[in-house]
Structure 1
């Protein structure tokens, strides 16, 4: 059976990261995680470097503004921290309204990918809901985007936001294929109200079907917000993933 890799996007624990980064990573490791997806690694580079040496956690991936930010600096710092995949977390909605706009956005990310290759870093993209809301001859904007990407650029499919946008995450995974290397997993009702988000397995998401559709993708727990203790949400999410992801 394929080894299941579990990770957590540290944006979920951002308040704790800002007050006690080493302690937060220690708590994440104690939950049973072996991997993390770094948040604001450029700002907290030195703190991450020290804390990662004190835990078994591996920084498989990280988010950084690549298309509109300083991609060269992000790639350099990612290489220093041993980050394997650097992911653009958001390209604004107005750049997804026409096919030409989408293809231009893909070209920008391809340029970053070429820059990152020499550093041994893979580049990826993370979606929200706006990338799947508009129809382009039976395909979502995210699919048009994927077709315009270089072969080695990957996708981190935020399964919840895909469903909120009206797409089936399972069907998207099937159509996007092996380019989907990471899954963002959270739960809740299909609403844009962030505080209504829930731990994985406690809402409307077809979690088991999603996991079966992407057996090789890294499972990344990520909540944009949560009404309770985010550490509890992360812990409960991991427990559910381990139970159903067999």
Structure 2
């Protein structure tokens, strides 16, 4: 059975800072069954109670691990929230050559060894800079080739599209590695404020979702100039409709 639809809490970061409980209550009422926290160590104390009160789960969470301090604090925060997969949200450098990609993969593999005894899985979330052509394959594909089988990917469909990839084909190719997908839409351009509710932009989200039937769906806005809650509600309604029609 597929995990409930989640929302990356970075999308509602301003509201979250003001009132975590009210924010999560609204998300639950809008049709979300889960959330994806960011900055796990910072937010675990504020989210632990609201998660219990709303019944929302947090299967995945973002936390900077590579090049950071001892990951023990991240693992402890994940345990407090029930997070089972800790995802490295961004690595900016090292994607221009295979040696750099290998170093990133080695770092993620070492983290997986440390996380395993805690019952945790390690993942990586892409942006648009992981798609340099390295000998006929993208850097992200090169990363996937070098990762331990226990390490997963969280595909950000929108940023992959911005990079110029055929995101549905990429999703199908890496389906065994991609366990989570950021369902994000827009005109396929770098400006994050141009993002629109899922299903109303140019990203081939239906193709991606069809290629990843078991992957966790996580809605996200990096930025949104209007009412982000209304945009999330429209996105989750669209997603529920698509999922029903595909059954």
Paired residue for 1:24?
A: 23
CA deviation map 1:127-164 (0-9, x unaligned)? 000001x1122211000001111101000000000000
Structure 1 gaps, min length 5: none
Match for residue 40 of structure 2?
Answer: 41
In structure 2, how many angstroms separate the alpha carbons of the residues matched to 1:189 and 1:69? 34
8 Å CA contact 2:2, 2:215 repeated in 1: no
Quote the residue 1:159 is aligned against.
157
Matched, 1:145 2:143: yes
In the TM superposition, what are the counterparts of 1:75-90 in structure 2 within 5 Å?
75-90=75-90
TM superposition shift of 1:4: 5.9
**C-alpha contact 1:4 1:215 (8 A) present in aligned 2:** no
Name the structure 2 match of 1:91: 91
What is the rounded CA distance, in whole Å, between the counterparts of 1:23 and 1:47 in structure 2? Answer: 12
Structure 2 counterpart SS, 1:87: strand
Q: Would you say the 8 A contact 1:41–1:48 is kept in 2?
A: no
Alignment size in residue pairs:
243
Separation (CA, whole Å) in 2 of partners of 1:4 and 1:236:
20
Is 1:193 aligned to 2:187, yes or no?
no
SS at match of 1:232: helix
Range 67-76 or range 154-163, more displaced: 67-76
In the other structure, the counterpart of 1:182 is 180
Equivalent residue number for residue 225 of structure 2: 227
Q: CA-to-partner distance for each residue in 1:61-89, whole Å, 9 max, x for gaps?
A: 10000102232211121122210110000
| Secondary structure class of the residue paired with 2:180 | strand
Deviates more, 1:139-148 or 1:66-75: 66-75
| Matches of 1:85 and 1:148, distance apart in 2 | 19
Query: Aligned-residue CA RMSD in angstroms?
Result: 1.1
* Alpha-carbon separation, structure 2, partners of 1:68 and 1:231: 34
Structure 1 distance, partners of 2:144, 2:211, is 18
TM-score by length of 1: 0.96
Deviations 1:38-74 (A, max 9, x none): 1223112211111111011011110000102232211
Counterpart of 1:15?
14
- Runs of 4 or more, structure 1, over 6 Å off, are none
User: Runs of 5+ in structure 2 lacking a partner?
Assistant: none
Give TM-score scaled by structure 2 length.
0.95
Give the superposition deviation at 1:3. Answer: 3.6
Aligned residues of 2:9 and 2:38 also touching (Cα < 8 A): yes
Residue 209 of structure 1 and its aligned partner are, at CA, apart by 1.2
Query: Deviations for 1:92-148, whole angstroms, at most 9, x for unmatched residues?
Result: 1x311110100101100111111110110111000000001x112221100000111
Question: Does 1:214 find its partner at 2:202?
Answer: no
Aligned pair in 2 of structure 1 residues 3, 64: CA closer, same or farther (>3 Å)? closer
